[in-house]
Chain A
Amino acid sequence: MAEIIKIKVGTASCGLAAGSGDVYDFFKANSKGIPVEGVGCIGHCYAEPMVEVETSEGSIIYREVKADQKSLDNILELGAENRLVIPEKRKQHELLKVTRLAGKIDPISIDEYMANGGYAALRKAQGMTPEEVVDEVKRSGLRGRGGGGFPTGLKWQFLAAKKNADKKILVCNADEGDPGAFMDRSMMESVPHQVLEGMLIGAYATGSDILFIYCRAEYPLAIKHLKIAIEDIKKHQLNVINGKALDIIIKEGAGAFVCGEETALIASLEGRRGTPRFRPPFPTDSGWNGYPTSLNNVETFANIPVLIAEGAEEFAKVGTEKSKGTKLFALAGDLENPGLIEVPMGTTIGQIVFDVGGARPEDVKAVQTGGPSGGCIPKELFDTPVDYDSLNSLGAIMGSGGMIVIGSNRCMVETARYFLDFTHRESCGKCTFCRVGTKRMFETLERIVAGEGVEADIDFLEDIGPKIKKGSLCGLGQTAPNPVLATLRYFKNEFVDHVVDHKCSALACNNLVDIKIDPEKCIKCKLCIKNCPVDAVSADFIIDNSKCTRCNTCIEVCPKDTIHRVEKGEGYYSE
């Protein structure tokens, strides 16, 4: 039998949430001398808690591992149970470059990172002139991974050109505020050194003096790992660039979506309300406290060591003409295998959703990209390649990489309402079109899902959306109407159903459905009666829809699946 060298337990946030902390403790205490190590995320979040066994003959991954002796014995014997088998059709699309080390090494061990080629790119860069490094990044075609898609090399060139500035600032935007996206969290938790190495290379190329990481406070584990990594960097004096020790400062965000916008983020870094301001001046001219500042996303920085190590030409071999390299996506929603994936730019949406994510075509209606700034793309357009320009042309955006699969049983109007609920609350209030316009859009959508919409509401949404986009200063307002406009473009029939027939074909909108027990199948176990919070179920098992709040409690507790949502009017009403 192959000899076991090491047991690695995935202990990033999603693993911990699935119970990998207990698995780690149990294995560590009972592994009979075999080293047990906590590692980051390998991306197969659906199979958490996961354990990888490194043996003399390669490694074996186990899925859904429990913190008990049986699971441990199975693993120590390299048993056949619970092995994670990655389907061939997933493997053929995935290309792990940026996430090469994620989940493979101890995230907080600088020695392990270095043993796997870490900081070699920084040394290589320091053997070049700063101009050569900027040029290398430019030639690679790397574009900002935060969603904007601005060429990274060009941004660095602007900052590097400020030769006479007292101080220059480089900021890592780790305020991953897009609900449904977790690429940056995963990278910071799993390979914090790779992100920091990218920043140090950036500091060398641009001549920066202070490095800020602006990270969401909701990511405590990422912050912890970054702090440890920064201490180790200082011990190894890797932060000494051109004979000068750079400050690396972590700033915790305080929960404001608009702070993903660069001028708002800078205001927040200055200790102010995170309101965006007019550009110009651009941050590379006047940013944090007036100093020239460049902001790049976590994933962009994580690309840098890869790019420098292999060279611009090699990097640019992957991807499409205008979108180079690979892209991380946080795949979630209605599919079999949610998780973090890395694929070449230009992979089609269908390949990602069906082949990599394991969704069944008949269960899927659409995919949502770009979060509150993006749009829903219908299944008919799933052969679209994923790159910045193709997605823009569909009225969606690449965004930072959140990709939510929407099942055929979901209501698209309700989904659009959800995003406007989010953006109207997150609008900072500076621009009238954004502040008032998103609120009016939200109120209109609330009325439509409540069954009180009229046909003129659709015209109103189509009219006000483009005006909000034109009348807003920053990315939030300029993109906030997208989820509604894209949905109107591809799923107008669902809007019409709601406002003309007052019907929700997905049976999702509470005001447009009734709840009914199927008397044929009901076994009269009384669980629905006992659990109904408003006593809407009668002693003879009839749900009174005039009392019912559509909370789904009865549907959840019914052991025989006999209670269902039905079209409005099909249920019983006492009054």
Chain B
Amino acid sequence: MLEQFSYLKEIDSSRTYLIKGLQTIQGHEGYISDDAILAVAEYFSVPDVEVEGVVSFYAQFKRSKPGKYCISVCDGTACHIKGSTMILDWISTELGIRDGETDAEGLFSIETVACLGCCSLAPVLSINGKVYGKLDRKATIKILKEYRNNG
């Protein structure tokens, strides 16, 4: 196993903790690389195709490196009927990238998520876990500009 992933050793190596292992790697690296899949396969003693199978099954796992700021646009029911499709459109236009993509500088990436559980503030988005609610176009663009200026 590569030295890079040695922090896996803090986790129990029985199969039941495999998802925990992947989550830990994504927490450190931001995504699951090919090397990470091999490391997890070795550590938990399962074939690497099975690890890939688990990674591809769950929406949480990313196979490419996300931007410094990961924008999650909520498309839960409440947000959807309150116009989350528009929010996504506005962000896409402002940043020049689409859902699931990362911009050229590696600063922003966009993803849609099922529900952030803040339905009473719909429509909402979160950036690196911080939630912004009751969005309209003006508020959305302002948030993006603030992050851009912070670099």
Contact = CB atoms under 8 A, between A and B. Distances in A.
Interface string A53-78: 00000000000000000000000000
B77 interface: yes
B58 A270 contact: no
Interface stretch (A249-257, A312-320, A460-468, A488-496): A249-257
Interface in A521-558: 533, 549, 551-553, 556-557
A14 B81 contact: no
B60 interface: yes
Interface stretch (B1-9, B63-71, B98-106, B109-117): B109-117
A16 B120 CA distance: 13
B54 interface: yes
Given A415-B81, A556-B138, A180 B119 contact: yes
Residue of B15, B77, B113 with most chain A CB atoms under a 10 A cut-off: B77
A220 B60 CA distance: 14
A45 B121 contact: yes
Interface string A255-296: 111000000000011111110000000000000010000000
Contacts of B59: 254-256
B54 A179 contact: no
Contacts of B132: 17
Interface stretch (A157-165, A190-198, A330-338): A330-338
Contacts of B80: 179, 415, 418
Q: What bracket does the count of chain B residues touching chain A fall in? A: 35 or more
Interface in A133-177: 176-177
Nearest to A531: B137
Contacts of B39: none
B81 A338 contact: no
B90 interface: yes
Interface in B135-149: 136-138
Contacts of B136: 556
A418 B82 CA distance: 13
Interface of A: 13-14, 16-18, 45-46, 48, 176-182, 185, 217-220, 251-257, 268-274, 289, 330-334, 338-339, 368, 371, 402, 404, 406-407, 410, 415, 418-419, 422, 428, 533, 549, 551-553, 556-557
12 contacts: A13-B116, A13-B118, A14-B120, A18-B134, A252-B19, A254-B22, A272-B18, A334-B81, A334-B82, A338-B78, A402-B77, A406-B81
Interface of B: 15-20, 22-23, 44, 53-54, 57-61, 75-78, 80-83, 86, 89-90, 93, 113-122, 124, 129, 131-134, 136-138
Given A13-B116, A220-B129, A557-B137, 16 more contacts: A13-B117, A17-B124, A179-B114, A180-B119, A251-B20, A254-B23, A254-B59, A254-B60, A257-B114, A271-B16, A271-B19, A271-B44, A332-B120, A552-B137, A553-B90, A556-B138
